[in-house]
Homo-oligomer: A and B are copies of this chain.
Amino acid sequence: MQVDFQESDFHAALVTSVVVFGFDGDDLKILVAEKKNEPFSGALILPTRVVQPGVAVELAAKELLSTVTGKDDWYLEQLNAFARLYRNPAGRVVNIAYYGLVKLDDQLKTSLRKDDHAWYASDDVPPLAYDHDEILEFARERLKRRVKRRPIGFSLLPREFTLNQLQSLYECALGKSFDKRNFRRKILKSELLIELEKKTDPTSDVKKPSQLYMFNEKKYRKMTLKGYDFVF
């Protein structure tokens, strides 16, 4: 039972990458970084940083996101550790990757603090360096599962949203489309939504105003914890 340590056992570097899904009401996007220094300068990668000794991994990931976006309350969930041997020639690198969700409002969309980061349409992300494609794929699968079992809209939609936006989110995340009537019936039956006394402002686009909803936060939290079946 070999679990005690020698000096030489402390040989691994620890990094963290994040896959952030943002939804702007129409499309799912992913935050991507461009590598600025060698090796692989110019290559696209997931936002990534080295985890310094004494810093909790999730905290490092959150700080990374704060630095890049200016926003500093992040819900993150660990994806997995990626520790392929050939990850880096300098030695073993363990990447503990996270997945996060965010409402992609105009501010976030246009004002990334670091100019080497950008939002890419989720199903149009160019190939990434290292094994980040694998991490991204893993995150996409996680998102699909989460969407099916938990009411994730809360993290991805603005406070007030329409049923069409919600449906569009589910369709983006799962990559298929649903019958509008069935979708509405199902989502309304859950009583997760509160119908507001408001409609969208029709002035913005050439549109009929649309009923707004918000989440019933109490019920929402219960369901997020317990999980449920929202299988489409």
Name A's B-contacting residues (CB within 8 A): 1-5, 9-15, 33-39, 45, 47-50, 53-57, 78, 80-81, 83-85, 88, 90-94, 96, 114, 116, 229, 231
Contact = CB atoms under 8 A, between A and B. Distances in A.
A196 to B, nearest CB: 33
Given A1-B33, A33-B1, A10 B9 contact: no
Contacts of A229: 231
B15 A12 contact: no
A80 B83 contact: no
Contacts of A37: 1, 4
Contacts of A83: 14, 56-57, 96
Interface centre among A10, A38, A39, A229 (most CB of B within 10 A): A10
A117 B81 CA distance: 27
A48 B1 contact: yes
B5 A90 contact: yes
A229 B145 CA distance: 12
B54 A81 contact: no
Given A83-B57, A88-B5, A14 B94 contact: yes
15 contacts: A1-B114, A4-B38, A5-B13, A5-B91, A5-B93, A10-B10, A11-B13, A11-B53, A12-B12, A12-B13, A12-B94, A53-B92, A54-B85, A57-B81, A57-B83
